[in-house]
Amino acid sequence: MRLSKLFTKTSKSAPADEVSKNAQLLIRAGFVYKIMAGVYAYNPLGLKVLNKITQIIREEMDGLGCQELIMTGLQKKETWMTTGRWDDDKVDIWFKSKLKDDTEVGFGWSHEEPIIEMVKQYLSSYKDFPINVYQFQTKFRNETRAKSGIIRGREFLMKDMYSCNGSAQENQAFYDETIEAYNRIYKRLGIGDDTYVTFASGGDFTKFSHEFQTICDAGEDYIYVDRQKNIAVNEEVLDDENLAKLGINRDELEKLRSVEVGNIFNFGTQKSEDMDFTFTDANNKKQLVYLSSYGIGVTRVMGVIAEKFADDKGLVWPESVAPAKVYLVPIGSEAVTARADDIYNELTSKGIEVLYDDRDMRPGQKFADCELMGIPYRLTISDRMLDSGDYELVSRKDGNQSLLTHDQLLAKLG
Amino acid sequence: MRLSKLFTKTSKSAPADEVSKNAQLLIRAGFVYKIMAGVYAYNPLGLKVLNKITQIIREEMDGLGCQELIMTGLQKKETWMTTGRWDDDKVDIWFKSKLKDDTEVGFGWSHEEPIIEMVKQYLSSYKDFPINVYQFQTKFRNETRAKSGIIRGREFLMKDMYSCNGSAQENQAFYDETIEAYNRIYKRLGIGDDTYVTFASGGDFTKFSHEFQTICDAGEDYIYVDRQKNIAVNEEVLDDENLAKLGINRDELEKLRSVEVGNIFNFGTQKSEDMDFTFTDANNKKQLVYLSSYGIGVTRVMGVIAEKFADDKGLVWPESVAPAKVYLVPIGSEAVTARADDIYNELTSKGIEVLYDDRDMRPGQKFADCELMGIPYRLTISDRMLDSGDYELVSRKDGNQSLLTHDQLLAKLG
């Protein structure tokens, strides 16, 4: 894309009321726009990042054999009455409104109950199981404070997946498979090295649930990491009994700030009992369905990536989620522009995404924008390079600079 | 996809309270699930149709040079106060709620004001224009009655696009270009022949606005069509003065039921004036921006396609939006299954989407499901055909049946 056509502009400052680093940078780079605290619109470059994260998650969910669907924002009171979670004393983040006939409706802060109510209409025999469904859905949560930018929104995008199994063993096996899929997702998103499967308290049915926590200074949580064993526990389960059970030594734990980027939960049959979700087994006996739920905050993950890798010059996107791989800057004569046009067309035709800074602007300003936007490679073409035939490529991550021939450039970016 | 894995099931009847044909069929086929009146979830096959419609629209919007973004459901009162449209007497379909500190918030029934407020932050000079932005966004509308299935939802998906231009001429030129793009969209969606650019009343700034109306018995509107001239007018503008202006003869008009599948509107500078959206021209003078808006109800279009082409056996999808092109039914021995597996793998590997009915079920039931789901081609393999090597292909649209060799089959479907 040519930057002369992009409607957003970068800016030197963020809104005065924006206190979070991720939102400050994303706003300054033109990726997001603040509607109100905790509510952000995604401009073209921000939407590109979000779509790449979404697609990585989708591929891994599809790989598990999950089926994508899309529920609704509007939800029925009756659905949530079955588990008592319509009550504002139990769930204090509801946005509610009313139909014209005074019927109360809620705006989905979660889809657990609605999605279970939906799938159970289709499933009745043991032959129907297992099934796993997921969606990318906007959630509305009436948070009292929303000061973490897109890491904790009043409106945000979430991937929520639900597994329905006929037995505890199958339920557990799929739960374990999903942990592996989640690990692959965080690795592909570039935060794998700093994301830990973290033991959290498990509620009534199961001893532990699992969180995925990414080490990040902006985190609202603390986790206790055993780097050697590659696992962590959260504060809730930090007691001698649990540590013993997990084979962890308290002295080897490191206390670190973190953000929860995923959460998986084994409901066992508790939720099915509340919602009367049963099936007929091979012996014609009625059985409760085993359920688990698996969430990833998509916009939150984007915020964590933004916040975690940023430096004093701006954002630093991993290649897998960057809005483009290359930021192309021509400096100099018309011959340089012609060469830049050619390489832009050539890279684009090979499917390599390029932000072409064809704006009438000083090179220093373009370099600064490239750094603020966090594009992995800056490709510079100047008069000097026209003679040598070389291309200058600078890596955003480490600042490494190289002079490459045309073939070397294509090999590097291809 | 193998139907034995799909969690939805077809059913012989729709919910008793569902009165619209499109929703009855979509529910029976398992494409959508009713949450409440006017609020439907999209199951895997329904989501596939929706995504195909979305992608066709996206390609045409991108072709016009429009930039995709995504706004938010939560909206600020102040934004809508600028045009007086926060007032429930002016806009009677708001869903509103409150933040914890009692701040009123609205749920987007439209994004005109928020999107203009957003883009104007980035645009100040004549050099910044033209720009066109669009989104696919969920809209919430508190309709008193919602009896038309997914044709009129309380929650629905809309494509809304906005053009910002520096002059009336450029504004009009882009408006005219968009009419052509819309015509291409409806053609690609399979409803081009029955969709008319319809003259509607234009409000303060412009004599006429334009609707795109599709002839459909389920329509809530009537239009008056001049088939010869390929244009239509709606009831609002059906008077002698307007007809004369449009060069239409009243006697040649045919009154037909229709559904509005798109709406475009030239605001001129009226909305910019309300919202103080200005720019500095080449002579350093302040000027108002020319705005137009362009909507397509994405879920509504899906409802119109469902309703319009359906017959007594079920849905009939045009190929461009069908959830799969082929419905594969093996009948008979294990050798048939092996052949079906092979052709399933072969077609899939060529990018041809196949619903493989590998369920343990009578052929008649499978045929009925294929018809209910409206898949364009049913491909049957039976023992008899194993000997001949032929494949039986039946077209859903016209029931035409053909026996094809392997090569003919691939040529036909490829």
Cα separation, A202 vs A196, in Å, equals 17
> What is chain B's length?
414
Cβ–Cβ gap A131/B74 under 8 Å: no
Residues of A in contact with B31 (CB under 8 A): none
A300 pLDDT above the threshold of 70: yes
pLDDT tens track for A127-162: 999 999 999 999 999 999 899 999 999 999 999 999
Mean pLDDT in chain A?
Answer: 96
Give the closest of B41, B65, B99 to A118, CB-based.
Answer: B41
Q: Where are the alpha helices (DSSP H) in B263-350?
A: 270-275, 298-309, 334-349
Q: pLDDT value at position B126?
A: 97
Give the closest of B43, B71, B72 to A69, CB-based.
Answer: B43
Task: Quickly count helices (H) and strands (E) in chain A.
Answer: 12, 21
Least reliable range by pLDDT among A256-260, B239-243, B341-345? B239-243
Give the closest of A35, A69, A133 to B72, CB-based.
Answer: A35
Q: Chain B: give the shortest CA distance to residue A42, in Å.
A: 5
Give the closest of B69, B96, B123 to A43, CB-based.
Answer: B69
Cα separation, B103 vs B98, in Å, equals 5
Query: β-strands A67-68, A74-76: how paired?
Result: unpaired
Give the closest of A71, A74, A119 to B7, CB-based.
Answer: A119
User: Which residue out of A5, A69, A98 would a mutagenesis test of the B interface target, given it has the greatest number of B Cβ atoms within 10 Å?
Assistant: A69
What integer is the mean pLDDT of A265-277? 94
Sequence-separated (6 or more) residues with CB below 8 Å from residue A413: A325, A326, A347, A352, A377
Q: pLDDT value at position B389?
A: 86
Give the closest of B41, B68, B155 to A47, CB-based.
Answer: B68
Q: pLDDT value at position B386?
A: 87
pLDDT tens track for B284-325: 999 999 999 999 999 999 999 999 999 999 999 999 999 999
A359: β partners: none
pLDDT band at B216 (very low <50, low <70, confident <90, very high): very high
Cβ–Cβ gap A142/B99 under 8 Å: yes
Residues of A in contact with B144 (CB under 8 A): 100
DSSP H or E stretch at residue B156: strand B155-165
* DSSP letters for A42-67: E-HHHHHHHHHHHHHHHHHHHHTT-E
Cα separation, A177 vs A169, in Å, equals 12
**B292 in Cβ contact with B174 (< 8 Å):** yes
What integer is the mean pLDDT of B327-337? 94
- A380 in helix, strand or coil? strand
Mean pLDDT in chain B?
Answer: 96
Q: pLDDT value at position B162?
A: 98
A4 pLDDT above the threshold of 80: yes
Look at domain B21-214+259-309 and name its CATH class.
alpha beta
Q: Side-chain half-sphere of B412: how many Cα atoms within 13 Å?
A: 20
Q: pLDDT value at position B285?
A: 98
Residues of A in contact with B78 (CB under 8 A): none
Q: Chain B: give the shortest CA distance to residue A11, in Å.
A: 10
Percent over 70 (pLDDT), chain B: 99
Percent over 70 (pLDDT), chain A: 99
pLDDT band at A205 (very low <50, low <70, confident <90, very high): low
A21 pLDDT above the threshold of 80: yes
Other Cβ atoms less than 10 A from the Cβ of B152: the count is 21
Would you identify the CATH topology of the domain B326-413? Answer: Rossmann fold (3.40.50)
Q: Chain A: give the shortest CA distance to residue B252, in Å.
A: 42
Residues of A in contact with B323 (CB under 8 A): none
User: Which residue out of B74, B80, B118 would a mutagenesis test of the A interface target, given it has the greatest number of A Cβ atoms within 10 Å?
Assistant: B74
Q: Which residue of A has its CA nearest to B100?
A: A144
B402 pLDDT above the threshold of 70: yes
Cβ–Cβ gap B33/A118 under 8 Å: yes
Cβ–Cβ gap A41/B69 under 8 Å: yes
CATH number of the A21-309 domain: 3.30.930.10
**A383 in Cβ contact with A336 (< 8 Å):** yes
Ranges of beta strands (E only) in A66-207 are 67-68, 74-76, 95-98, 104-107, 131-140, 155-165, 195-201
pLDDT tens track for B269-285: 999 999 999 999 999 99
Q: How far is CA A186 from the centre of its chain?
A: 9
Cβ–Cβ gap A73/B138 under 8 Å: yes
- Give 3-state DSSP helix, strand, coil % of chain A, rounded to 5: 35, 30, 35
Query: β-strands A286-288, A290-297: how paired?
Result: unpaired
Cα separation, A290 vs A279, in Å, equals 10
- Tally C-beta pairs within 8 A across A and B: 133
A207 pLDDT above the threshold of 90: no
Q: pLDDT value at position B148?
A: 95
B382: β partners: B331
What integer is the mean pLDDT of B11-39? 96
Cα separation, A19 vs A33, in Å, equals 14
Q: Per-domain residue ranges for chain B?
A: 21-214+259-309, 326-413
Cα separation, B160 vs A290, in Å, equals 42
A204 pLDDT above the threshold of 70: no
Residues of A in contact with B43 (CB under 8 A): 69
Cα separation, B236 vs B251, in Å, equals 18
Cβ–Cβ gap A35/B7 under 8 Å: no
